[in-house]
Structure 1
Amino acid sequence: MSPVIKTPELPPVVAGTAGHVDHGKTSLVKLLTGCDTDRLKEEKERGMSINLGFAPCLLPGNRVVGIIDVPGHIDFIRNMVAGAASIDILILVIAADDGIMPQTSEHMQIIKLLRSPRLMVALTKTDLVDAPALEAVKSEIADFLKEHGYGDSPIIPVSNITFDGIDQIRSALDGMVSSVMRETDTRAFRMNIERVFSVKGFGTVVSGIPLSGKISIGDEVELLPSGKRTSVKSIQNYKHNTDNTYASVCSAINLKDIPAEEISRGMTIATPGYFRPAKFAAVELMNISKDFPIKNNTEFKFHAGTSEVSAKVSLFGKSSIEPGATAAVRLKFNEEVSIASGDRFVLRRLSPSTTIGGGVVISSSGTSIKINSEDRIYTSMEFARNNNFFEAEVLCGVNYLLEHAEAVRLSGLMPQAAEMLLKEKVSSGFLAVLNGGHYLVLARRGELSDRIRKGLEIFHKNQKQLSGMDTETFCSTFDIKAANFARIIEIFISETDSEIKIINGKVALKSFAPAASSRIMQLKDKLLALIEKSGINCVAHGTILETGAITEQELKSVIKMLVDEKLIVVIGNHIISMRTFEDCRKKIADIIARKGLLEVGDFREATGASRNMSVALLEKFDGLGFTKRLPKGRVLLKGK
Structure 2
Amino acid sequence: MILATAGHVDHGKTTLLHALTGVDADTLKEEKSRGLTIEPGFIYPTTESGAELGFIDVPGHERFIHNMLSGVAGVDGALLIIACDDGVMPQTREHLAILTLLSIPVVAVVLTKTDLVDSERRAACEREAQALVGEVAMFSVCARAGTGIEALSNWLDARAADWQARPAPGRFRHAIDRVFTKKGAGLVVTGTVVDGVVERGQSLWLLPRGERVRVRGLRRQNREAEHAQRGDRCALNLAGVECEIKRGDWLIDAPAPLPASQRLDVALHLLPTLDRDALHWMPVHIHMGAAHLTGRLGLLEAPTLAPGGRALAQLTLDAPQHACCGDRFVIRSQGADETLGGGRVLDPYPPRRGARRPPRLAYLATLQQALENGASERQNGFAATLETLAERQPDGLSLVELSATLNRSVETLEEQARARGLTLIRAGTEHRAFAPVHLDALANVLDEALAQYHLEAPAEVGMERDRLRRVVAPKWNVGVFREWLDTLVSAGHVIAQGPFIKRPSHEARLDEALETLSQTLLPLLDERFDPPRVRDIATDRQLDEPRVREVLFANARLGRLFQVRKDHFYPTDTLARLGEIIEALAREHGCVRAADYRDRTQVGRKLAIAQLEFFDRVGYTRRVHDARQLRRPGMWG
TM range (shorter): 0.7 to 0.9
Shift of 1:141: 1.6
2:150 aligned to 154, 164, 167, which one? 167
1:97 matched to 2:85: yes
Residue of structure 2 in register with 1:184 after alignment: 167
1:471 matched to 2:469: no
Which whole-Å deviations, capped at 9, do the CAs of 1:274-308 have from their partners, x for residues lacking one? 64432222221112243433333222111012101
CA distance in 1, matches of 2:496, 2:581: 30
1:334 aligned to 293, 318, 323, which one? 318
Count of equivalent residues:
563
CA distance in 1, matches of 2:584, 2:138: 89
Which letter maps to 1:322?
Answer: A
Residue of structure 1 in register with 2:141 after alignment: 158
Shift of 1:347: 0.9
**More displaced stretch, 79-88 vs 386-395:** 386-395
Shift of 1:14: 1.1
Residues 239 and 533 of structure 1, relative CA distance in 2, 3 Å threshold: same
Counterparts of residues 206-355 of structure 1 (less than 5 Å): 206-256=189-239, 258=241, 262-271=244-253, 273=256, 275-289=258-272, 290-351=274-335, 353-355=337-339
**More displaced stretch, 573-582 vs 151-160:** 573-582
Q: Is the 8 A contact 1:277 1:338 kept in 2?
A: yes
Shift of 1:351: 3.2
Q: Is the 8 A contact 1:532 1:580 kept in 2?
A: no
Residues 566 and 68 of structure 1, relative CA distance in 2, 3 Å threshold: farther
Residues 81 and 21 of structure 1, relative CA distance in 2, 3 Å threshold: same
2:478 aligned to 471, 478, 481, which one? 481
Q: Is the 8 A contact 2:8 2:60 kept in 1?
A: yes
Shift of 1:359: 1.0
RMSD over aligned CA atoms reads 5.0
Which letter maps to 2:207?
Answer: L
Q: Is the 8 A contact 2:332 2:339 kept in 1?
A: yes
Q: Is the 8 A contact 1:365 1:393 kept in 2?
A: no
Which whole-Å deviations, capped at 9, do the CAs of 1:157-183 have from their partners, x for residues lacking one? 111122211122223323433454553
Residue of structure 2 in register with 1:596 after alignment: 599
CA distance in 1, matches of 2:12, 2:417: 51
What TM-score does the superposition give when structure 2 sets the normalisation length?
0.73
Shift of 1:219: 2.3
Shift of 1:536: 3.6
Counterparts of residues 518-557 of structure 1 (less than 5 Å): 536-537=522-523
What TM-score does the superposition give when structure 1 sets the normalisation length?
0.73
Residue of structure 2 in register with 1:515 after alignment: none
- 5+ residue gaps, structure 1: 1-12, 146-150, 495-499, 509-521, 541-551, 601-614, 629-635
- 5+ residue gaps, structure 2: 526-533, 535-545, 586-595, 616-622, 630-637
What secondary structure does 1:164 align onto? coil
Counterparts of residues 454-465 of structure 1 (less than 5 Å): none
Shift of 1:132: 1.4
CA distance in 2, matches of 1:291, 1:412: 37
CA distance in 2, matches of 1:312, 1:237: 36
Q: Is the 8 A contact 1:121 1:154 kept in 2?
A: yes
What secondary structure does 1:64 align onto? coil
Residues 537 and 99 of structure 1, relative CA distance in 2, 3 Å threshold: same
Residue of structure 2 in register with 1:432 after alignment: 424
**More displaced stretch, 585-594 vs 188-197:** 585-594
Residue of structure 1 in register with 2:109 after alignment: 121
Query: What percentage of aligned pairs have identical amino acids?
Result: 25
Residues 403 and 437 of structure 1, relative CA distance in 2, 3 Å threshold: farther
Shift of 1:445: 8.7
Shift of 1:356: 1.1
Which letter maps to 2:365?
Answer: Y
Residues 383 and 469 of structure 1, relative CA distance in 2, 3 Å threshold: farther
Which letter maps to 2:80?
Answer: L
What secondary structure does 1:209 align onto? strand
CA distance in 1, matches of 2:103, 2:4: 12
Shift of 1:30: 0.9
Residues 73 and 255 of structure 1, relative CA distance in 2, 3 Å threshold: same
CA distance in 2, matches of 1:24, 1:305: 26
Residues 191 and 129 of structure 1, relative CA distance in 2, 3 Å threshold: same
Q: Is the 8 A contact 1:393 1:410 kept in 2?
A: no
1:639 matched to 2:603: no
What secondary structure does 2:60 align onto? coil
Q: Is the 8 A contact 1:300 1:311 kept in 2?
A: yes
CA distance in 1, matches of 2:439, 2:361: 13
